[in-house]
Amino acid sequence: MSLAMKELKKIAEWSYEKKPLSRGYNMRSLAIDIGALGFAEKPVSAEMKKKFVGGKGFGLRLLWDGTKPSTKWDDPENEIVIAMGPVCGNTNYPGSGKSLVVSLSPMTGVPIDSNVGGYFGPFLKFSGFDALELTGKSDRDLIVFFNGDAGTVEIFESPEGLESDTHILADKL
């Protein structure tokens, strides 16, 4: 089965102005509330860039700012942060395709991180963001689609029976 984006029901869209990278930084993160279908661009300060270097530093800082001490792992306000460092996507450095996923652990309730490779981190960086913050809970399956060339982020309702394996889903999309 081949699935075209035009076959999906778009339920939210957000446009942004693309800006060039400056020394590996876009100086902004994107927050998406999938429960409220809201988007917010957040600035990355020079202080944050200096004190919280790389994907792990950014991810932990954004998680710290986005949650309260009482936040539990399954609360809608818990964040899943995907952050990249300044060399992400630069092929001159080994491992530059890495990004860090940071959230609260369901087992311990404390912050955890996972180092992941692949294309998502560099593509998000080239789309214009140093990090992605996901919050909220949805009552249905959703697909978040970044079009870095057009400067848009779209949320689609996932059709019934759509493959849940992300590798197969990416091929179909």
What's the maximum distance between 2 C-alpha atoms anywhere in the chain?
48
Quote the CA–CA distance of 142 and 155 in Å, as a whole number. Answer: 7
Whether domain 21-139 has CATH 3.60.9.10: yes
Per-residue confidence (pLDDT) for residue 157, from 0 to 100: 92
Strand (E) positions, 3-157? 9-15, 28-33, 38-43, 80-83, 99-104, 111-116, 131-135, 142-147, 152-157
The continuous run of DSSP H or E covering 51 comes out as helix 46-51
Q: Residue 159 gets which letter from DSSP?
A: P
Instruction: Tell me if the pTM is above 0.75.
Output: yes
Report whether 54 contacts 61 (CB < 8 A).
Answer: no
Torsion of CA 52, 56, 16, 117, to 10 degrees: 150
Domain boundaries, the chain: 21-139
Residue 94 token pair:
């080994």
Please report, in tens digits, the pLDDT of each residue of the chain (173 residues total).
456 666 789 999 999 999 888 889 999 999 999 999 999 999 999 999 999 988 999 999 999 999 999 999 999 999 999 999 999 988 888 888 899 999 999 999 999 999 999 899 999 999 999 999 999 999 998 999 999 999 999 999 988 877 777 778 777 76
Per-residue confidence (pLDDT) for residue 153, from 0 to 100: 97
